[in-house]
Structure 1
């Protein structure tokens, strides 16, 4: 299934572009809204996606919001509030699907592009990849969940420095800080991210969903609450098709077939 802006591949990977080359790879509102609609279709069972791949259609993953549009708006506050709402609705849907997510982060991931790269479970970059908050450079504060995710990944002190100094992070620094998961040659970014997304789609999606939920509640749960959540998750997974298949395959000394075991 495909439309102008999203593609559901035969292997269950839902590919969502977040920026278009025609707009200088700035965050594309139509693409974001279309991606949200596609994710909602997944939640309704109308699209059988098992993993998500975020891409930029051009030399950059996403160069941030379209500042010219900000400046030309009759009511900047209302305009920016609407953009933030659309982006938040997209990221909410991204998590609500409970699908593992990969991102092909070529070139710049700035502003909202950096925020979206942080939301990916696996972000593949290349030597020319650059991450930058960008918001302080135009007198604004982050959106898209950047100020929530960044300190959870790099720590509060480092996040404060990156955000307030509007640091440009090169590819190796982003990798060292775990903002990128791996680096490949520039012409291999999409291929590698696509490969990872396909592997995730072929894997135990129920386990992935549980892992993501547990990680996201690490800082809000007490230890006692968290180990109970872990116990509930592993017990619940043990009677799913994937859980049964995984254990049976291990005992039979064969590779598990998770796609055929989903229920």
Structure 2
């Protein structure tokens, strides 16, 4: 089920399940975990994988970087740069792959754990989950794409509040702010995540990838550039097997089979 030391990885049909698996260290990110997460992300970036489900083992989703691990490195800066680079490689792969990424936040998401949690295309949170940046509390600055995603999700003012004051958001507050898709009872999070993963596995991976591409580029493009991207992508989808199946199924009044 797993070829990793700090993660568990399970592939069931079109669904890949990744569990951050250092519960005794609050699933803190050390060099091994971010390196393995990047490798797992690359493993998911294939047509056969339509959904990636990311969660944490134990009480924490992820408490951020493993400061004890960082402090023991001969060069803290060089060590943290390598950890961040691997994490960023993983996040970039997840963002640009066709698979729908679901993050199931089962507990505290702090620092890089917060950053990773909100990169999900769909973000589920247990009622007991909480979210805090926590970087400046230890004299560091944000990583894990949070300075990219948070301003786009909640605006600059709220981003500054989270990053400068280290305010902790409950799951409900995170949903109200637009960081979380759905809040569910803690004891039903895993079941709801599996249900959502199965639902998305029945959809078209190419169409989902098109949505992700359009939305990832939208803030960097002008109107005409974005519309040209839209027209090219929808034309490509119309010629694809999934596009043909979807239209034909609609006209025949049957359910599309995107297998």
TM-score, structure 1 length as denominator? 0.92
**Aligned counterpart, 1:207:** 207
Which residues in structure 2 correspond to 1:196-235 (within 5 Å)?
196-235=196-235
Question: What is the SS of the residue equivalent to 1:52?
Answer: strand
CA distance in 1, matches of 2:230, 2:12: 33
CA contact (8 A) 1:133 1:167 kept: yes
**Aligned counterpart, 2:160:** 160
1:236 maps onto 2:251 in alignment: no
Q: CA RMSD in A?
A: 1.7
Q: Deviations over 1:45-84 (max 9, x none)?
A: 5x83111111111111111111112222221111111111
Which residues in structure 2 correspond to 1:136-147 (within 5 Å)?
136-147=136-147
CA contact (8 A) 2:30 2:83 kept: no
Question: What is the SS of the residue equivalent to 1:147?
Answer: helix
1:32 to 30, 34, 37: 34
CA distance in 1, matches of 2:65, 2:134: 10
Q: State how many pairs are aligned.
A: 257
Question: What is the SS of the residue equivalent to 2:61?
Answer: coil
Q: Deviations over 1:65-112 (max 9, x none)?
A: 111122222211111111111111111222342311001101101001
Question: What is the SS of the residue equivalent to 2:250?
Answer: helix
CA distance in 2, matches of 1:15, 1:207: 21
CA distance in 1, matches of 2:249, 2:176: 36
**Aligned counterpart, 1:92:** 92
TM-score, structure 2 length as denominator? 0.93
CA distance in 2, matches of 1:30, 1:198: 30
CA contact (8 A) 1:17 1:54 kept: yes
CA contact (8 A) 2:61 2:106 kept: yes
CA contact (8 A) 2:9 2:19 kept: no
CA distance in 1, matches of 2:82, 2:2: 27
CA contact (8 A) 2:34 2:83 kept: no
> Kindly tell me: are residues 29 and 57 of structure 1, through their superposed partners in 2, closer, same or farther at Cα, counting changes over 3 Å?
farther
Q: Deviations over 1:23-62 (max 9, x none)?
A: 222125434322322332344x5x8311111111111111
CA distance in 2, matches of 1:186, 1:56: 13
**Aligned counterpart, 1:16:** 18
CA distance in 2, matches of 1:157, 1:38: 34
Gaps of 5+ in 1: none
Deviates more, 1:1-10 or 1:111-120: 1-10
CA distance in 1, matches of 2:43, 2:102: 19
**Aligned counterpart, 1:106:** 106
Gaps of 5+ in 2: none
**Aligned counterpart, 1:249:** 249
> Kindly tell me: are residues 29 and 189 of structure 1, through their superposed partners in 2, closer, same or farther at Cα, counting changes over 3 Å?
farther
Poorly superposed stretches of 4+, deviation over 4 Å: none
> What displacement does 1:119 show?
0.8
Which residues in structure 2 correspond to 1:36-47 (within 5 Å)?
36-43=38-45, 45=46
Which residues in structure 2 correspond to 1:152-191 (within 5 Å)?
152-191=152-191
